[in-house]
């Protein structure tokens, strides 16, 4: 077993040794200086992050799913990332899912004992009917959480792809995973408070993984989220704006075309740019797996 004193994330930070006696401005300045180290740590593992995106997206294209699994802050970050993908990119909620030790109740109230059970993670993944085409991303700042270790071991046992996100070198979850994303951000401002720099690092990496995969799946045209779901007033307005930005049409023309496509911005954009009718545009876009630029190229 790894002792806490040997973990970078549990080490004392000399820069903040007297933070309880600083002014409030000095406190936030120290925090800001420490936070600047996070993107630098991530920069060093960009090749591994890119490889992870390719691994996940290839499996998603073949019918696989993506699961984030973690405990405490790490688990909550996974659930946050997964829950934001359906409205933003129009995917089914089952495609990307977050699993937290202790179940849904742990999102709002800590269920600390749950993270000590590797068997619980295997049980949770079995309930999701984990398959070999799926990918499991284990999140643990320490890299040693038993729940995450159990989840990754179970995933490997059935042939699923595995990725580890951690903030300590040579961690047990990194040794298990097919790809290890180890962002060493250094000791926390408050010793062991890994919801800070380590949590920020995990959030940034998750942003890259999910956004990168959605781009690889054709959910983005240029830099526009063309598969946005018009599920509330804000998103309806966003869809109108996206169609206007992508095509140069007026607001009224955007509204009219979105009415024809039942709010589907991607289809509306392709109809306008291709000058095709609804049925033909739908057929050609489907033939090119939803990639607008590929569909347009096929018409040239």
Catalytic residues: 84, 115
Contact partners, residue 227, CB within 8 Å, separation at least 6: 89, 90, 91, 214, 219, 265, 266, 290
**Total Cβ atoms within 10 A of residue 237:** 12
Which residue has tokens 């989840």?
151
**Tokens (6 digits) for 136:** 């499991």
**Tokens (6 digits) for 32:** 């800001």
Contact 115, 177 (CB under 8 A): no
**Total Cβ atoms within 10 A of residue 241:** 15
Dist. CA 277–CA 57, nearest whole Å: 31
DSSP-derived secondary structure letter, 9: G
Which residue has tokens 């023309």?
253
Q: Which of 124, 156, 143 is nearest to 202 (CA)?
A: 143
**Tokens (6 digits) for 74:** 């790490």
H/E element, 255 = helix 251-260
CA distances from 109 to 101, 130, 134, 156 (A): 11, 26, 29, 30
**Tokens (6 digits) for 70:** 């973690």
């Amino acid at each position: 077993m790894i002792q806490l004193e040997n973990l970078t994330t549990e080490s004392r930070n000399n820069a903040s040794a007297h933070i309880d006696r600083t002014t409030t401005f000095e406190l936030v300045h120290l925090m800001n200086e420490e936070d600047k180290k996070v993107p630098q740590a991530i920069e060093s593992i960009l090749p591994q992050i890119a490889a992870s995106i390719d691994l996940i997206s290839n499996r998603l294209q073949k019918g696989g799913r993506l699961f984030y699994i973690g405990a405490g802050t790490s688990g909550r970050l996974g659930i946050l990332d997964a829950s934001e993908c359906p409205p933003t990119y129009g995917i089914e909620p089952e495609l990307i899912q977050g699993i937290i030790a202790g179940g849904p109740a742990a999102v709002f109230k800590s269920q600390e004992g749950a993270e000590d059970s590797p068997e619980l993670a295997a049980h949770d993944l079995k309930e999701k009917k984990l398959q070999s085409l799926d990918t499991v991303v284990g999140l643990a700042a320490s890299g040693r959480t038993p729940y995450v270790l159990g989840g990754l071991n179970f995933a490997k046992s059935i042939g699923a792809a595995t990725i580890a996100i951690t903030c300590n070198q040579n961690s047990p979850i990194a040794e298990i995973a097919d790809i290890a994303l180890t962002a060493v951000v250094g000791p926390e401002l408050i010793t062991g408070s890994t919801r800070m720099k380590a949590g920020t690092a995990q959030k940034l990496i998750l942003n890259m993984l999910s956004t990168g995969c959605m781009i690889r799946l054709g959910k983005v045209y240029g830099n526009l989220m063309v598969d946005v779901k018009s599920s509330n007033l804000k998103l309806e307005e966003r869809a109108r704006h996206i169609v206007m930005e992508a095509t140069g049409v007026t607001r009224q023309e955007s509204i009219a075309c979105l009415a024809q496509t039942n709010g589907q911005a991607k289809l509306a954009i392709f109809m306008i740019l291709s000058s095709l009718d609804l049925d033909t545009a739908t057929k050609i876009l489907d033939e090119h797996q939803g990639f607008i630029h590929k569909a347009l190229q096929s018409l040239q």
